[in-house]
């Protein structure tokens, strides 16, 4: 039993070399942006690489003293397994989303711009204040894309004060929107709901929301502020 407890594949010196090479590799990868991380579709590669490098360090640590260090790792795992599972679940959930870094999101009561994601959670910036949102808190809360980087999504409920037909009203509205220079290239949706028209559009600058509303009002439409987002 004593021989088993003292059995070793690596010395501490060799472990330090392995760990040092792994950490240096992570620093080089991060410093020279070898993995593109502007969206989760591309940043998933970095997080998978991080998990592989971390696994290599753990295996090297086990190789020093397999029995004793396995017991030690199991004890540590018992304290942090929730964080590990939350991290893995979250990065794969985000992988299948259309969220990019720089987008404005809402998750629970937290609203802001997604600026970074690490092992523990997401960094969300709002009004120059950075909020850390742990993955452990992300249970049952859906992540909502409010606007893409630099863009703001709008849903406007309007009424034609000129009493035009639906066809003429929509034509006048489309003409007004066409002449507005700060609409993003995304498709604009105009639907009819009882006596109101619902517009779903995206402006390229957040400070242009009021200008768009003013442009619509000049075309003879009133805006129902209670129903607008």
Of the candidates 167, 165, 158, 166, the one whose C-alpha atom is nearest the C-alpha of residue 219 is: 158
The Cα 224–Cα 229 span in angstroms is: 10
Judged by DSSP in three states, 153 sits in strand
**Overall average pLDDT of the 98-110 stretch:** 78
The Cα 10–Cα 177 span in angstroms is: 69
31: Cβ–Cβ under 8 A, 6 or more apart, which residues? none
| Tokens 């309007």, residue located | 158
pLDDT in tens, 12-61: 999 999 999 999 998 888 777 677 655 555 567 778 888 899 999 999 99
Furthest C-alpha separation in the chain: 93
29: Cβ–Cβ under 8 A, 6 or more apart, which residues? 35, 46, 49
pLDDT in tens, 129-178: 888 888 877 766 677 777 666 667 778 888 888 878 777 878 888 888 77
Question: What pTM was computed for the model?
Answer: 0.56
- Mean of the per-residue pLDDT values for the chain? 79
Structure tokens at 33: 């942006």
The Cα 10–Cα 16 span in angstroms is: 10
């Amino acid at each position: 039993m004593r021989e088993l407890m003292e059995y070793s594949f690596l010395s501490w010196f060799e472990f330090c070399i392995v760990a040092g090479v792994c950490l240096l590799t992570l620093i080089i990868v991060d410093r020279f942006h070898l993995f593109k991380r502007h969206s989760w579709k591309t940043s998933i590669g970095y997080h998978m690489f991080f998990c592989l490098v971390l696994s290599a360090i753990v295996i090297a640590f086990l190789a020093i003293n397999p029995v004793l260090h396995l017991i030690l790792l199991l004890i540590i795992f018992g304290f942090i397994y929730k964080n590990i599972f939350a991290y893995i679940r979250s990065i794969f959930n985000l992988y299948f989303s259309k969220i990019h870094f720089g987008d404005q999101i809402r998750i629970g009561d937290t609203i802001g711009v997604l600026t970074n994601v690490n092992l523990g959670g997401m960094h969300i910036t709002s009004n120059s204040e950075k909020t850390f949102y742990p993955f452990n808190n992300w249970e049952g809360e859906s992540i909502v894309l409010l606007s893409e980087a630099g863009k703001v999504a709008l849903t406007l409920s309007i009424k034609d004060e000129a009493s035009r037909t639906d066809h003429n009203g929509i034509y006048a509205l489309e003409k007004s929107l066409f002449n507005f220079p700060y609409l993003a290239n995304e498709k604009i949706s105009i639907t009819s709901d009882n006596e109101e028209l619902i517009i779903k559009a995206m402006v390229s600058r957040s400070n242009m929301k009021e200008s768009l509303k003013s442009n619509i009002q000049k075309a003879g439409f009133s805006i129902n502020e209670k129903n607008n987002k």
